[in-house]
Amino acid sequence: MTAAEEMSTSISMLWESADPGAALTERFGFASTADAIGWLDGVLAEHWGLRVAACERLVISDANCLAWITVDGCRMIAKWSMRPRLFARLAAIARLTVWLEERGIPVSAPRAARDGSLQVEVDGFSLGLQGVVEGELLDVTDPVQVRAAGEMLARMHSAMADYPETIPTDEPAAPGTQLVGNDFRSANILWADGRIAAVLDLEEATYRRRVDDLAQAAVLLGTRYHDWRPTPADVREAFVAAYASVAPLGKNDVGALEEAIEACLRRIPWPA
């Protein structure tokens, strides 16, 4: 990568109002974007046999740094975390993502390193590499996209109920719960060519009742990175109906879902 290309790399915060340059230094220890890109280039060369040809941008989200890069002629995203207590969980989520891809769920699966690792722990970070999936964020004003989203969440619930591994969580799974994504919303769903191209970011995966995850998704479906608003009631209803067309809800489920939606609407501190 040339010096000019390094200088053209933008850096931003995904949702926080902090200064991104200061966050890069204080949270990750890099003096500059060039410093971060140079480190990433060395890690990818050693563990993946790849070199960074260009870096479009760096984005910081809490304890994670994401780099949109070009390697081996392909656009990819490198994402690394600086919280060691999450490293085992990140590796487990990476395995889950690959497992879902193998079962036809559109996700952005990680690219394995030379030794087969999906997450590489190096220099105090845990880093994964995945391809860029082209598409636009889900548009909840489009009934076709809303229906596809409801059907997709039902498919994911059905698949994740059969996942053979246990994902590390703060608390053990309670009776009546199953593995769910826990963050199904527009910011994490890409639409392209008339279909859902990818469901992104399974890092919030946990064990909950299906109806609780469905309720949260229904309320938050239209949210992106800023200025959250609850999904309009008619969109929520269409979304739930599409879900139920794939995974029918029993009478008890319907009642529990209504209660969970109301609880979610009350719990979230919506902007004034």
Q: If you search the block for the tokens 């390697």, which residue do you land on?
A: 71
Name the average pLDDT for the chain. Answer: 95
Residue 25 has pLDDT above 50, yes or no: yes
The band of 225, judged by pLDDT with boundaries at 50, 70 and 90, is confident
Q: What is the pLDDT of residue 272?
A: 73
Q: What is the pLDDT of residue 271?
A: 86
- List pLDDT tens digits, range 157-195: 999 999 999 999 998 999 999 999 999 999 999 999 999
Mean pLDDT computed over 136-156: 98
Residue 5 has pLDDT above 60, yes or no: no
Check: CATH 3.30.200.20 for 3-131? yes
Q: What is the pLDDT of residue 55?
A: 97
Residue 212's CB is within 10 A of a number of other CB atoms, namely: 19
CATH 3.30.200.20 residue ranges for the chain: 3-131
- Helix ranges (DSSP H) in the chain: 3-7, 20-28, 33-47, 87-102, 143-160, 210-220, 233-246, 251-267
Residue 2 has pLDDT above 70, yes or no: no
Mean pLDDT computed over 58-85: 97
C-alpha span between 21 and 215 (Å, rounded): 37
Q: Return the closest-CA partner of residue 140 out of 212, 15, 264, 238.
A: 238
C-alpha span between 199 and 191 (Å, rounded): 9
| Helix-, strand-, coil-residue percentages of the chain, each rounded to 5 | 40, 20, 40
CATH 3.90.1200.10 residue ranges for the chain: 136-267
The partner residues of 192 in beta bridges, in order of sequence, read 195
Q: Return the closest-CA partner of residue 159 out of 110, 96, 216, 111.
A: 96
CATH number of 136-267: 3.90.1200.10
DSSP state of 186: G
The band of 4, judged by pLDDT with boundaries at 50, 70 and 90, is very low
C-alpha span between 87 and 119 (Å, rounded): 8
The band of 224, judged by pLDDT with boundaries at 50, 70 and 90, is very high
